Amino acid sequence: MSYETSSFARPWLGLVAGRPDAALTRRSPHSPWSVIRRPGSAASVTGTGGRGRRRRGGSPRRFTHWVENIAAPAVRENTLAGYRVAAYRHLIPGLGAHRIERLEPEHLERFYRRMQETGSAPATAHQAHRTIRTALNEAVRRGHLAKNPATLAKAPRLPESEIEPYTVSEVQRLMAATHGRRNSARWAVALALGLRQEEALGLRWPDVDLDAGTLTVRRGRQRPRWEHGCRSPCGRKYGGHCPARRQVRADTAETKSRAGRRSIGLPDELVALLRKHRDEQEQERATAAQLWEDGDWLFATPTGGPVNPRTDYDEWKRLLKLAGLRDGRLHDARHTAATVLLILGLAERAVMGIMGWSNSAMAARYQHLTAQVRRDIAQRVGGLLWDSSTGDPESTS
């Protein structure tokens, strides 16, 4: 796939040919913001200054300067993929008839509504909103726009799904189900420390100091990505299934934020589990012999390689069934850890440091009070306000 845009040195501003019937009613240059060309469109605008001209025909190449030249070098691969989907699948076809300097919040709000009316999920519409807001922020920063209409537009509403963390007794049942299974300490790390999946799978032994009882998060495990390595077509649809496949994504990447890079104290029980885990891994290393991949992974495959996130997810689901617990996301282990820390009364700043939150607003998102905790609070309030020895509320007045 290739993309085309005018350079920022060229004086053009606009989203062009967003619909098959879109007409160019104005072509005079105003600002060096990128011109976006829709695939298969009948016309596009290019220019080197002065007057514009129409160019008809040409291959269906698509490009935006912001996505490919500004965002691409600065954001992670997954973020860039989201920008590209939002821009080339939704924003350009849906808003291409509007010049950026004439774009109003109402245009965006109608666009978000049409997206959902035609089958897009609220999350997809919200992703489009975040993408155009970020892109237009750059236009404002460079002086090409006076204001960003996306910051004024009402964003699509995302459905709120209440996440119930697991109770202490459920966590104990889950931990019991891990006994005798490979990498059982992996789940203790998730439930006790609240590490994200990529953080736990990205740990290496040098990140853990068992004598000092600390663990340092420095990186995250990325989902593997492959491409075909065969010279002649092997007939496999996906690069990951090719016998000569080549890995095109690194195993790990640095944490997204400074808050994500953190050191965490380990409970004594978890230190003991990790010591046992190290001994078990040494036995696997001896069994694998020359097949062992020496990557120093804290949680590894039987031959020492990094654990695939999908394999890790499947093991989580198996453990839930084995423990007889309700189905839940792997990220719910993180919710559980955060809730336990908050219930224990730790200072919010301390919880932020353990969880790797970058701002205090995250704390509110993770304070999911379970029914058991709510009952406990109600009982404490009752014991405080009414004398249990008399059972008479009036006696306290």
| Contact of 109 with 153, CB cutoff 8 Å | yes
Any alpha helices (H) in 44-184, and if so which ranges?
65, 77-85, 92-95, 105-117, 122-141, 149-152, 168-177
Mean pLDDT lowest among 13-17, 46-50, 83-87: 46-50
* Residue 158 token pair: 């995302």
Q: Is residue 375 part of a domain?
A: no
Give the CA diameter of the chain: 90
State the virtual CA torsion across 148, 154, 160, 165 in degrees, nearest 10.
Answer: 30
Number of domains in the chain: 3
Confirm whether pTM is higher than 0.75. Answer: no
pLDDT for res 243:
81
- Are 122 and 189 members of one domain? no
Which residues constitute the domain of residue 50?
Answer: 14-152
- Are 131 and 241 members of one domain? no
Distance CA 223, CA 198 (A): 9
Q: Is residue 198 part of a domain?
A: yes
- Are 133 and 175 members of one domain? no
Given a cut of 90, whether residue 2 has pLDDT beyond it is: no
pLDDT for res 96:
75
- Are 24 and 102 members of one domain? yes
pLDDT for res 370:
52
* Residue 293 token pair: 């991949």
**Which one of 254, 273, 299 terminates a domain?**
254
Distance CA 284, CA 304 (A): 8
Q: What is the pLDDT of residues 15-29, one digit of tens each?
A: 443 443 343 334 444
Q: Is residue 383 part of a domain?
A: no
**Which one of 127, 152, 177 terminates a domain?**
152
pLDDT for res 85:
93
pLDDT for res 61:
35
- Are 206 and 184 members of one domain? yes
- Are 199 and 285 members of one domain? yes
Q: The domain that contains 308 carries what CATH number? A: 1.10.443.10
- Are 51 and 126 members of one domain? yes
For residue 302, the number of C-alpha atoms closer than 13 Å in the C-beta half-sphere is 4
Given a cut of 60, whether residue 34 has pLDDT beyond it is: no
Looking at the DSSP bridge assignments, the partners of residue 36 are 15
Q: Is residue 71 part of a domain?
A: yes
Distance CA 349, CA 326 (A): 32
- Are 133 and 226 members of one domain? no
Q: Is residue 374 part of a domain?
A: no
Q: Is residue 378 part of a domain?
A: no
Mean pLDDT lowest among 30-44, 74-88, 183-197: 30-44
- Are 177 and 207 members of one domain? yes
**Which one of 254, 275, 310 terminates a domain?**
254
Q: What is the pLDDT of residues 340-390, one digit of tens each?
A: 887 777 777 888 888 888 777 777 765 555 555 666 667 766 666 775 555
Given a cut of 50, whether residue 47 has pLDDT beyond it is: no
Q: What is the pLDDT of residues 86-102, one digit of tens each?
A: 999 999 888 877 788 88
